């Protein structure tokens, strides 16, 4: 793992943004894996600013998001589809037909999982996958106990994950109970991974990820140590429990 220690959220976002721009410039048809949540928002803002300054174009970029709630229409403000349009896609020159998120509202989730997995492979895998980490070590919505061999599948969300995401909803009970997520094996197939971690709340997870040698399905992110091209960007608060 390539570890990059940065000062704060802004620094982390800027680093990640530069890495994405570099990937877009290196590849003829870049395939990006994207994430939702608070962590990548600053990075998306930075990408929009770079686009507005004419520093990058997304014309030839395809994207695949990690996950989506089950039961929310893409137009629902709490859906990840809406989040991505709002935070990034509607502000840049990406071809909307090249934007992919699982659809948790088709009525046939199993088929949707198969189709989504197939579309990632058809795109010749993801060049750069952006990841955050959950307090319990989840990546995407792959909660503890998810097999490392998993492909895109339906998950029941952990109580802690629903609690953590309740801030985006009017009422805690409104947080969906299920989601569709890329599997851990799907994520591991990405050619490069960028894991972003910011804030004191994530300090325990960072310590477990970097200072515990055990690779276990109890802590899904631990598998990332086996990826041969991963960069972890950690700010001071997230790294505050590390020994050095
Ligand atoms: P966050 O979520 O970016 O909102 O902290 C990350 C995650 O749960 O994977």
Domain ranges of the chain: 2-200+223-232
What is the predicted pLDDT for the residue at 229?
A: 98
What is the architecture of the domain spanning 2-200+223-232?
3-Layer(aba) Sandwich (3.40)
Ligand 1 centroid – CA 164 distance (Å): 8
Two tokens, residue 196: 């972003």
**Coil/strand/helix, residue 131:** strand
What is the predicted pLDDT for the residue at 89?
A: 98
What is the predicted pLDDT for the residue at 160?
A: 86
- Rounded to the nearest angstrom, the gap between the alpha carbon of residue 231 and the centroid of all alpha carbons in its chain is 14
Ligand 1: residue of 41, 138, 140, 164 to mutate (most ligand atoms within 8 A of CB) is 164
**Going by CA atoms, what residue is nearest to atom 8 of ligand 1?**
134
What is the predicted pLDDT for the residue at 42?
A: 98
Alpha helices (H) along 151-231: 159-165, 184-188, 203-211
- Positions annotated as catalytic residues are 67, 136, 138, 143
What is the block-wise mean pLDDT of the chain (244 residues), using blocks of 10 residues? 98 98 97 97 98 98 98 94 98 98 96 98 96 96 96 94 90 94 98 98 97 95 98 98 90
Give pTM, 2 decimals: 0.96
Ligand 1 centroid – CA 165 distance (Å): 8
Pocket of ligand 1 (CB under 6 A): 37-39, 132-134, 138
Of ligand 1's atoms, which has the minimum distance to the CA of residue 133?
9
Ligand 1 centroid – CA 38 distance (Å): 6
Two tokens, residue 195: 């894991």
Ligand 1: residue of 134, 141, 193, 238 to mutate (most ligand atoms within 8 A of CB) is 134
Closest by CA to 48, choosing from 101, 93, 103, is 93
Is residue 53 packed enough to be buried (19+ CB in 10 Å), middle (13-18) or exposed (0-12)?
exposed
What is the predicted pLDDT for the residue at 213?
A: 87
**Going by CA atoms, what residue is nearest to atom 4 of ligand 1?**
37
Ligand 1 centroid – CA 18 distance (Å): 21
Strands 230-235 and 2-6: parallel
Q: What is the largest CA-CA distance in the chain?
A: 50
What is the predicted pLDDT for the residue at 244?
A: 75
What is the predicted pLDDT for the residue at 70?
A: 97
């Amino acid at each position: 793992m390539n570890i990059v220690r940065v000062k704060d959220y802004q620094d982390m976002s800027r680093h990640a943004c530069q890495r994405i721009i570099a990937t877009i410039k290196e590849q003829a048809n870049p395939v990006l894996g994207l994430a939702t949540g608070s962590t990548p928002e600053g990075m998306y803002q930075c990408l929009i600013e770079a686009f507005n300054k004419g520093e990058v174009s997304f014309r030839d970029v395809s994207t695949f998001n990690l996950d989506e709630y089950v039961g929310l229409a893409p137009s629902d403000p709490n859906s990840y589809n809406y989040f991505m349009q709002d935070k990034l896609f509607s502000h840049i020159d990406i071809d909307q037909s090249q934007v992919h998120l699982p659809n948790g509202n088709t009525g046939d989730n199993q088929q949707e999982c198969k189709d989504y997995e197939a579309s990632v492979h058809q795109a010749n895998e993801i060049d750069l996958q952006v990841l955050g980490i959950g307090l319990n070590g989840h990546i995407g919505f792959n909660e503890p106990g998810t097999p490392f061999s998993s492909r895109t599948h339906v998950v029941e969300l952990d109580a802690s994950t629903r609690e953590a995401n309740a801030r985006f909803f009017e009422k805690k009970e409104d947080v969906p109970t299920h989601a569709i997520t890329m599997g851990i094996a799907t994520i591991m197939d990405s050619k490069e991974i960028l894991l972003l971690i910011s804030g004191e709340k994530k300090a325990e997870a960072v310590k477990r990820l970097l200072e515990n040698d055990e690779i276990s399905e109890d802590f899904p992110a631990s598998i990332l140590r086996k990826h041969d091209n991963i960069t972890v960007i950690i700010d001071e608060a997230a790294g505050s429990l590390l020994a050095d």
